Chains A and B, each alone.
Chain A
Amino acid sequence: MFVEYTWLVPLVPMLCFVIVGAFGKKMPEGGGPVAIFGALFAFVMSVLISYEFFTSAAYSDPGFITAQIAWFSIGDFTINVGYYIDSLSCLMILFASFISMLIFIYSIGYMHGEGVKKRRYYAEVSLFLTGMLGLAVSSNFLEMFVFWEAMGLCSYLLIGFWGFTHPNGDDAADNAASAAKKAFLVTRLGDVCLMGGLFVLLYAFGSLDYVTVFDTAAMAAVDPNMIMLASLLIFGGVIGKSAQFPLLDWLPDAMAGPTTVSALIHAATMVKAGVYLVARCFPLFTQNPEVMLFVGLIGGITAFFAATMALNNMNIKKVLAYSTLSQLGYMFLALGAGGYMMALGIQSGDNHLIAAGAVGYTAGCLHMVNHAFFKALLFLGSGSVIHATGTEDMREMGGLHKKMKITSITMLIGSLSIAGFPLFSGFWSKELVLEAAMHAGDYGVEGYLFTIMWVLAIVTAFMTAFYMFRMWFMTFKGKPGHGTEHSHGESPKSMTAPLVVLSAFAAAIGCMILFGFDEYITIGINGAGQFQVGSGHGHGMVGWLEDIFLSAYTYLTVVLVLAAIGIAYLMYSKKSVDPGKINRNGNSLLYRALSNRWYFPQLYNRIGWGLGYGVAKGVEFVDRDVIDGTVNALSAAVVGGGESLSRVQTGNVRDYAAMVMIGVVLLFAVIVALFYFMGGA
């Protein structure tokens, strides 16, 4: 009864976008309450839909509810529009709407001083939320792609929000503008791949509906190479959207927008869309173990590299941005490792392996939810700090704990959680991710690559704990900095209240895994031979506890995490160890490489700007100077110099005419050549 109205979930935020966009100026807080209402409605609706779905017969068989109507037809293919509800979409809409709602509430306080621009802000974030929710409930790839692009567009507008007048001056405004453009164009590069993937799918399956594409019989009937091509192209889109290696450069720059937007992009929407898409396409991706191996490798490499970049950054938001990249890498590592095992299991018919693969899937999804909560918390917390001190540089903070107790403690909880401190949310999911990666190493010819990724992931866990606590100690402990002295104490209630709520979730949401989360969010092959998300057999509380605490590797990770926190404490709070000695006061080769993000931006500039603009200039040069020049010379030779006067008056019209004639001659040559080589006529 509620599921039939699933379309309201994206539609109401969409209406809020229209209402705020049109009448926001006359509303209190630029239409903020309307945006909050939209998110609240979406959340309530999501709860009702999820409840109805999980209690319905469709949950256990076939595992989804879908309904669609014809949208338009492409030749012989019909494109539909509709909704597709299964455990995964329920999970997505639940946490996306809930966290967005908290972020919107927080924005009331954070954006209070922005004046008339608040209208634009609330309109755009509503549209952003629409994109995410629509993407999660879409019933086919094209519909998904529409929302996917809408979100990309909104991120462009929101990151560039401070384009006109950045609170930190003109340089910051320029940065915001170019960061926005970079985010848009880089993610578009991925979208081109995704679009290509959709064309391949449409060709291979004759439909873009999830129901048709994910059908086991249909997939068996299609050339595996075609599926591999489609999977890799789709993953190309994911790499762009979720900022994975090697397209990871845009996300740190995207910090130029308001902090709340960063929270929205990093926690609830945008980058999570990529994770969702991989989880959604699991049936497709698992047809080829190589695809999943690729996903896992990209994830592992990103997790490691992004974590190294966070080690020495001084900007509080950038540290968080790198940690997002790193955590996303974990999710893809888990999904890749799980999918790899599952793909091998499907090929060999080994049910045990399929079940082991499902753990990876569960781990990836659980880490996605956990990350959504603690990253939203950390970003909003950093927003609170920036709001109070007016700076993003951690060297100007310090000693804030006394002035901002609530912010300090909630951020501590977030840091503990992301670092994987035992019993906090992040601990459970991180252990599962590591376990999945380790298990995958035991299977298949290329399995050893996952073992390498597992080692990288453990090192990443160490680095994560270090840079998070480096951030926390630098901000809240130690000697008060320049910014701390200017700060005006704790932020208003509308900002701290969401922090408190989020911190409760950030601490505890991971325990879901002990209470049957894996029964709902798992993937397996049901009696009818179809892939099914949910209604699997959970390990149960005892099972998971044994799994985690009886493994020696768990203790290894815990020891590393504790050691990292200890080192951070010694360096940045007690200051008994001087980090300057280790990095030769910022002059060591490694330190400089890290500050320059391993020179990725320079590389991109050289490739992207140098090549792209160079080619453009080159083509224009050829078009204008070489062709015209040749033509000039030719016409001068033919007509002689006596008419130079007329050339001044008519510009280069004679050249254009000569171009036409040369074109005709060329055409003739090409036709003759074609006929000659193709043996026509």
Chain B
Amino acid sequence: MIFDSSIVTSVFGQFAPIAPMIVLIIGALVMPAVFFATKRRGAVTGVAMAVILISILFNVLMLADGYQGEYAGLFAYDAFSGVMILLFQAVIFLTALVSVSSSETTRMHYGAYNSLLLAAAVGMMFVATASDLITIFLGIELASITSYVLVAMKRSDPRAAEAAVKYVIIGGLSTALTLYGLSMLYGVAGTTNIADIAAALSTQGFSWAFGIAMITMIAGFGFKIAAVPFHAWAPDVYEGAATPVSMFLGTGSKKVGFVALFKIFLVIFVAANATASFATEEMQYIFAIIAAITMTVGNVVAISQTNIKRMLAYSSIAQAGYILIVMAVMTEYALASGMFHMFTHVFMKGGAFLVVGALITVGIGEKISDYRGLAKRAPFIAFAMTVFLFALAGIPPLAGFTSKLFLFSSAIYDNGVMTQWIWLAFIAILNSAISLYYYTRVVKAMYIEKGDTAERIRIPKTFAAAIAISFVFVIVLGVFPQLIMDFCADAASALFG
């Protein structure tokens, strides 16, 4: 066996389930020291990259070896956690890589910036491994609070300060709602362990206390995933934050909400369904309605945006709507497809944000009209951006097409039988057709409209590398989806038990 997780278990002992996080925590602690010692941003990023790579290595070893373990009844590592951790690692890798050369990230507090970035990633990973309400909440808060600071760190731009304040206030409100929901859930079930809650609820059946817990939790997590009507903060924050941070929020932070939703609701509903003592169909309808509204509002409002970061933010909202299909359909296959879409989304949307960030760094604005004639000035960047946008729109054979194919087909069939969610799939297909319109606008500006100058653009090397990585994944995952889809299928069956 090439992949042997015994290295990790022998080093970390009982802490092995949270080994990937421990590595990052250590990294987060030394980051400021490295910066004060060297005063060079490159050195900090170098150390950060090393730490992230070690963490990825550990996680890959554990994941490929099929490692399972739990720590103190609070964390449990299984295929699902492994895959989600991998996703967050991919996000943090790309973000940390480009932060060093972005002109928008802080210069004074670069050590703290990286420290916060790693801490936020740790929070996300905690949610992925959590087996208890307390650790889920802890993880979400860790990720959220660090994100507020990261948004505020772009000090040169008043928009950032405004965005950060909005983010904090709305975030605080959502936290309160989440916490309220969690405490109601504890009140209903008398335990904070998710599996025990599921067991308790399946014997008790539905109660209005649980209903209220559910509503407040949907609102709280809905803020994280930017589902309509809890989405209003997202365009402001994505626009105001430094682009690497926007990318981090759009591709990583959003997924935390999904992981929490999957962990709590899917587990509970699956257990409840098994005993048939409470009907989940009403809940599924709630999620289906939110999904339909979210994707439609996201796509339609994106059409009239002129700022590319705002456009991408609305497109992110729409993508969240697609992923919410999982919560409506609630089958193992839908979950696997949803996770796969989350992966492809990291590279498609991440790639698009990276291009925007790279161009801001070399002095090109955020307006779509600023992209005129870009194909002549930076052929590779323009081509990569085209691929990312077309992947988001779902043009074959790019990653977005394959993952949407999986996701939408999961809403149509369940074990060869047509499901009742076919209308949702129809809305989703229609939506991806609409989305092509605003993506094409950017492509048209880059390739067809005439720019003011034809001067060549050279983007920083780390940006080029990160864009190239995303580019490769967008194409490879489109053509060989099985590469990650197999892991996602394992992960889904691990969560469904």
Contact = CB atoms under 8 A, between A and B. Distances in A.
A650 B165 contact: yes
B12 interface: no
A196 B428 CA distance: 11
Nearest to A651: B162
Contacts of B211: 671, 681
Contact of A664 (B216, B297, B412): B216
Interface stretch (B47-55, B74-82, B135-143, B395-403): B395-403
Given A612-B437, A656-B232, A664 B282 contact: no
A660 B229 contact: yes
Interface in B308-352: 333
Given A75-B333, A199-B425, A660 B450 contact: no
B476 interface: no
B170 A72 contact: no
Chain A, interface size: which category? Answer: 35 or more
B248 interface: no
A565 interface: no
A203 B419 CA distance: 11
B214, B390, B448 pick with most chain A CB within 10 angstroms: B448
Contacts of A164: 373, 376, 448, 450
Interface stretch (A146-154, A264-272, A392-400): A146-154
B50 to A, nearest CB: 33
Contacts of A176: 448
Contacts of A674: 282, 285-286
B170 A177 contact: no
Contacts, number: 170
Nearest to A667: B215
Contacts of A153: 390, 395
B292 to A, nearest CB: 13
A170 B448 CA distance: 12
Interface stretch (A187-195, A342-350, A535-543): A187-195
B279 interface: yes
A678 B278 CA distance: 13
Contacts of A570: none
A657 interface: yes
B481 interface: yes
Nearest to B404: A195
Nearest to B479: A71
A156 B437 CA distance: 13
Nearest to B165: A650
B206 A188 contact: no
Given A196-B426, A670-B289, A681-B206, A613 B447 contact: no
Contact of A160 (B170, B418, B444, B485): B444
Contacts of B373: 164
A45 interface: no
A165 B408 CA distance: 41
B175 to A, nearest CB: 11
Contacts of B162: 650-651
A616 B301 contact: yes
Nearest to A666: B229
A659 interface: yes
Contacts of A680: 206, 278-279, 281-282
Nearest to B331: A75
B415 interface: yes
A623 B301 contact: yes
Interface string A664-676: 1011101100110
Nearest to A650: B165
Interface in A200-216: 202-203, 206
Given A181-B440, A651-B162, A663 B425 contact: no
Contacts of B303: 612-613, 616
A643 interface: no
A150 B401 CA distance: 12
A507 to B, nearest CB: 39
Interface in B208-238: 211-212, 214-216, 218-219, 222-223, 229-230, 232-233, 236
Contacts of A188: 433, 436
A26 to B, nearest CB: 15
B230 A663 contact: yes
Contacts of A146: 396-397, 401
A675 B278 CA distance: 12
A653 interface: yes
A145 interface: yes
B170 A656 contact: yes
Nearest to A627: B229
B423 to A, nearest CB: 12
Contacts of A623: 297, 301
Given A165-B450, A623-B297, A653-B169, A181 B418 contact: no
Interface string A341-363: 00000000000000000000000
Nearest to A657: B173
B410 interface: yes
B174, B229, B300, B480 pick with most chain A CB within 10 angstroms: B229
B219 A663 contact: yes
A75 B409 contact: yes
A259 to B, nearest CB: 18
A192 B433 contact: yes
A662 interface: yes
Contacts of A659: 229-230, 232
A678 B280 CA distance: 11
A184 B440 contact: yes
A617 interface: yes
B71 interface: no
Interface string B163-203: 00110011001100100000000000000000000000000
B410 A75 contact: yes
B430 interface: yes
B398 to A, nearest CB: 10
A650 B236 CA distance: 12
Contacts of A377: none
Nearest to B172: A657
B440 A664 contact: no
Contacts of A73: 482
A212 B282 CA distance: 38
B453 interface: no
A656 B233 contact: yes
Contacts of B285: 674, 678
A202 B447 CA distance: 36
A163 interface: yes
Given A153-B395, A184-B440, A666-B229, A620 B482 contact: no
Interface in A116-146: 142, 145-146
A76 B337 CA distance: 13
B286 A75 contact: no
Contact of A199 (B230, B409, B430, B436): B409
A74 interface: yes
A180 interface: yes
Contacts of B265: none
B335 to A, nearest CB: 12
Contact of B169 (A76, A191, A650, A662): A650
26 contacts: A74-B405, A146-B396, A146-B401, A160-B444, A163-B449, A163-B450, A176-B448, A181-B444, A184-B440, A206-B416, A615-B300, A617-B304, A619-B300, A650-B169, A651-B162, A656-B169, A657-B169, A661-B173, A671-B211, A671-B215, A671-B282, A674-B282, A678-B281, A678-B282, A680-B206, A680-B278
Given A72-B480, A650-B169, A653-B169, 11 more contacts: A74-B405, A76-B416, A156-B440, A165-B450, A170-B450, A185-B437, A619-B297, A664-B215, A678-B282, A680-B282, A681-B211
Interface of A: 72-76, 142, 145-146, 149-150, 153, 156-157, 160, 163-165, 170, 173, 176-177, 180-181, 184-185, 188-189, 191-192, 195-196, 199, 202-203, 206, 612-613, 615-617, 619-620, 623, 627, 650-651, 653, 655-657, 659-664, 666-668, 670-671, 674-675, 678, 680-681
Nearest 8 CB-CB pairings of A with B: A163-B448, A616-B303, A663-B229, A177-B448, A146-B396, A656-B232, A160-B448, A653-B166
